[in-house]
Structure 1
Amino acid sequence: MSAFSLKMDIAENRFFNGENSPLFSRQQAQQARHFHQKIAGYQPTPLVAMNELAALFGVHKILVKDESQRFGLNAFKMLGGAYAIARLLCEKYQLDINEFSFETLKSSIKEKMTFATTTDGNHGRGIAWAAQKLGQNAVIYMPKGSAQERVDAILRLGAECIVTDMNYDDTVRFTMQTAQEKGWEVVQDTAWEGYTKIPTWIMQGYATLADEAVEQMAAMGIARPTHVFLQAGVGAMAGGVLGYLADVYGARNLHSAIVEPELADCIYRSGVKGKIVNVGGSMATIMAGLACGEPNPLGWDILRNCATQFISCQDAVAALGMRVLGNPPGNDPRVISGESGAVGLGVLAAVYFHPQREALMHKLKLDGHSVVLTISTEGDTDIQHYREVVWEGKHPAAR
């Protein structure tokens, strides 16, 4: 095998205290999952065991949660958006979320509502899907540089989709201002002062995938993972999932690494400093779903308390992960994973090929007993770019 060095900065979390959050517990996750189970077409997404890849990389198990198969939407994000919209409407119309159905809710809505959000693609698609199911309107704003394929996927769900000339975080502010002026409901996966309830529901919705994974690992005879690699944009998915896992296993019993693109590594920088640090600029990473410069304070609190390490890496790490998952060794199943979905596995692959492999394995506490859980949060949501990376060799690992 070749040896090559990809840029990965790994920082220990000096502010770790292992404190759980009651907002992101197993109980909250199972309530959200109970809601998702009542949606037509629900089934747990696969938890794939990459046994031959694990043997090659020198660990006991590599497990990949494949979210490309979530409700036909090719990504996990609807778990949060649909749950938050349902909770919002149940609160508005005094309905019980435990008795929820789209049909009941649809008949209860007296006036047509408009849901607005900012997205890099997958979250907006989830909001558009939920609005369509409920017969409501959705207006989705996307930052500059958004792929046309992601825009078209939202338009096909009947939503209005507007690409701005701003980065993600500035687009969020514009969405908030516009929605306030027009009386729309904002369903955003980040929080700020005075806006925490809906982001909390979104993060609780994301934990459905973690509850499924814990159940699936138990069915495989796996008591617990030793490691979890979670990618972060604003940190909502990473915070919601890590909060759940910390409640189930204990944060001190889990080596958790939060992975970001170096061009949008606000969580990494916050982790180094111990308080929220924002990143500006265009954040032109291939990991579009992670191109966010301002941490979600709700997610940040969990990550500061419970994450073991923070990792900032170059785009080629994600591209490597896409290729490895799409072309695994031996009889391992193939996973189609997009740019933001593959970066966790990409870190493992980059460690394997690195000239200082043993030192990096030691730093990440990886060995022959390690059971590593990664989340492939999206499939090929931008098919053209997926093929440019996997077929044509865009963002090569070695030059």
Structure 2
Amino acid sequence: MVNLTEIKYIVNENARKADMEKASVEFINSEVVEKVRNFHKSFPEYQVTPLHSLDKLSKQLEVGNIWVKDESYRFGLNAFKVLGGSFAVGKYLAKKLNVDISELSFEKLRSKEVKEKIEDITFVTATDGNHGRGIAWAASQLGQKSVVLMPKGSSEIRLNNIRKEGAEASITDLNYDDTVRLASQKAEENGWVLVQDTAWDGYEEIPTWIMQGYGTILDEAVEQIGEAGDDRPTHVFLQAGVGSFAGSMLGYLAGKFGDQRPITVIVEPDKAACLYKSMNIGDGQPHSVTGALNTIMAGLACGEPSTTSWGVLKDYAEAFISCPDYVAARGMRILANPLGSDPQIVSGESGAVGLGLVSLLAENKMLNVMKEMLKLNQDSKILIISTEGDTDPEHYRKVVWDGAYPSA
């Protein structure tokens, strides 16, 4: 039997206090999101990704509804990351051309006219896989070069998928955060452009563009929920690595819904729970987790919070939860083996942890205190964003077929 006490949580008492000065969410306001959506719509590959309603599972778990936004369909790249990377590349090129991104479609950016105005550029990034593949794809589509560095222990399958998109890619002998530092060093030495989804003092513009690019996900989901006859979810579970994705999603929710925003829960792997640690210390500052960051949730294996997202998460998220790997594995298996007429969803390790957590909260009495704190009940309408599919098919089968990382 697993030890459910390994699932740890912190309640953010300040999240709903109206009399506190809070981080601005203007970086992802409605005007920005409209530009992001229009830019992505100009891609020939653009389609709204599915929003699945898991009616049978909702009944089983005794909640009102569970929606899963399935990003495995995004641009044929099996993950959401390309949204942020492509928008950041587009914004960088727009800045070079001295025009607003709203004036540049994807087709115009890769036109001969634009190529003649911009010298060859090499974009460089560090990644566990999904972000790097998105940067490689965007750079290749726009006739530019890319260099992608991956941390020690990265999947060879993910490495080869990045190379197939035209990047010069390799696996280092460093952890994720040190690989980011190496990418930054390479950019400075070679005159390359660093496109990283984590920020630090002095490097915040491009990470902000990446966060803005993710806004397409929730803008689509809110539209889809409205089309289904609901106005908004009551709960959103957001997985986090450095926090850029979670900060983007929470910034969107806070800006759009204000005090009526859903209860938002930040979920991290216990071996890389830098946001949980930061909230636990409680001094208002971001704190790092060091070491190997060894977790199956490779996309979340990050030890240093991003400065562009920390303030939003600290000020608006209701809870931070640290989860062992078996929580993600359970979520993967549940989505792969649906109840009744519920659709099957192929969700990778970093995509399924939120659903795994919801299932344990709903079914295990040992977690009742946490469940009650989050106000999860029969009226709850829960949104999960499955950020990736089976980006490492071999490992996916070990979990879903062979039962690796069991929860019982």
| TM-score over 0.5 (shorter chain) | yes
How far apart in 2 are the matches of 1:6 and 1:340? 21
Aligned to 2:171: 163
Of residues 217, 220, 228, the one that matches 1:212 is 220
What CA RMSD, in Å, does the superposition of the two structures yield over aligned residues? 1.5
1:34 matched to 2:42? The reply is no
How far apart in 2 are the matches of 1:22 and 1:393? 44
Q: Aligned to 2:67, what secondary structure does the other structure show?
A: strand
Of residues 121, 125, 149, the one that matches 1:117 is 125
Task: Give, in angstroms, the shift of residue 104 of structure 1.
Answer: 2.1
Q: Aligned to 2:236, what secondary structure does the other structure show?
A: strand
Question: Aligned letter for 1:345?
Answer: L
Aligned to 1:68: 72
How far apart in 1 are the matches of 2:257 and 2:93? 33
How far apart in 2 are the matches of 1:47 and 1:294? 31
Task: Give, in angstroms, the shift of residue 248 of structure 1.
Answer: 1.2
8 Å contact 1:3–1:354 — kept in the other structure? Answer: no
Task: Give, in angstroms, the shift of residue 99 of structure 1.
Answer: 2.3
Question: Aligned letter for 1:349?
Answer: S
How far apart in 1 are the matches of 2:184 and 2:214? 22
Structure 2: gaps of 5 or more residues = none
Identity %: 51
8 Å contact 2:43–2:107 — kept in the other structure? Answer: no
How far apart in 2 are the matches of 1:148 and 1:35? 32
How far apart in 1 are the matches of 2:241 and 2:316? 17
8 Å contact 1:251–1:306 — kept in the other structure? Answer: no
Structure 1 stretch 269-278 or stretch 255-264: which is displaced more?
A: 269-278
Task: Give, in angstroms, the shift of residue 6 of structure 1.
Answer: 6.6
1:209-256 CA-partner distances (Å, limit 9, x unpaired): 000000001001111110000000000000001100111112554210
Aligned to 2:138: 130
Aligned to 1:362: 372
Aligned to 2:392: 382
1:139-193 CA-partner distances (Å, limit 9, x unpaired): 0000000000100110000101011100000010111011100000000001111
Distance change >3 Å, CA 51–CA 6, structure 1 → 2? farther
TM-score normalized by structure 2? 0.94
How far apart in 2 are the matches of 1:3 and 1:104? 54
How far apart in 2 are the matches of 1:321 and 1:376? 10
Structure 1 stretch 180-189 or stretch 353-362: which is displaced more?
A: 353-362
Distance change >3 Å, CA 149–CA 308, structure 1 → 2? same
Aligned to 2:313: 303
Aligned to 1:286: 296
The equivalences for 1:12-27 within 5 A come to: 12-16=11-15, 17=17, 19=22, 20-27=24-31
1:354-386 CA-partner distances (Å, limit 9, x unpaired): 232543321221011100001000000000000
How far apart in 2 are the matches of 1:337 and 1:251? 31
8 Å contact 1:6–1:397 — kept in the other structure? Answer: no
How far apart in 1 are the matches of 2:30 and 2:288? 30
Where do 4+ consecutive residues of structure 1 move more than 6 Å? Answer: none
Of residues 331, 334, 344, the one that matches 1:334 is 344
How far apart in 2 are the matches of 1:292 and 1:209? 22
Aligned to 1:373: 383
Aligned to 2:106: 102
1:73-132 CA-partner distances (Å, limit 9, x unpaired): 000000000000000001001233112123322321332110000001000000000001
Structure 1: gaps of 5 or more residues = none
How far apart in 2 are the matches of 1:14 and 1:26? 28
8 Å contact 1:80–1:201 — kept in the other structure? Answer: yes
Q: Aligned to 2:354, what secondary structure does the other structure show?
A: helix
Count of residues in Structure 1 that have an aligned counterpart in Structure 2:
397
How far apart in 1 are the matches of 2:306 and 2:260? 23
Structure 1 stretch 108-117 or stretch 174-183: which is displaced more?
A: 108-117
Task: Give, in angstroms, the shift of residue 54 of structure 1.
Answer: 0.6
Question: Aligned letter for 1:301?
Answer: G
TM-score normalized by structure 1? 0.97
1:278-297 CA-partner distances (Å, limit 9, x unpaired): 00000010000000000011
The equivalences for 1:149-298 within 5 A come to: 149-251=157-259, 253-272=261-280, 273=282, 274-298=284-308
How far apart in 2 are the matches of 1:42 and 1:232? 25
Aligned to 1:144: 152
Task: Give, in angstroms, the shift of residue 37 of structure 1.
Answer: 0.5
